[in-house]
Amino acid sequence: MTELIKAYRWPIIGGLVGLLLAVLIITIGFLKTLVILIFVALGIAVGYYIEKTGVLSKLFK
């Protein structure tokens, strides 16, 4: 079973993300789902920036 999951890791992750998006669009609507995705992308971008620049580690030393 673990070999199957390792072999098809990315298609499984993609399918789960697609399922989550479909459920969000059906339950809360397209525009609200789009706003959530935009905020998630902004959060990822800010987190990546903080990690690469080391702003927080310099601030809390």
Q: Could you report the average pLDDT of every consecutive run of 10 residues in the chain (61 residues)?
A: 88 95 96 96 94 84 73
Tokens representing 27 are 């339950």
- List of E strands, the chain: none
Range(s) of the domain holding residue 35: 2-59
pLDDT of residue 1: 79
pLDDT of residue 61: 73
Tokens representing 5 are 């999951």
- The domain tally of the chain equals 1
Tokens representing 55 are 């702003």
pLDDT of residue 55: 83
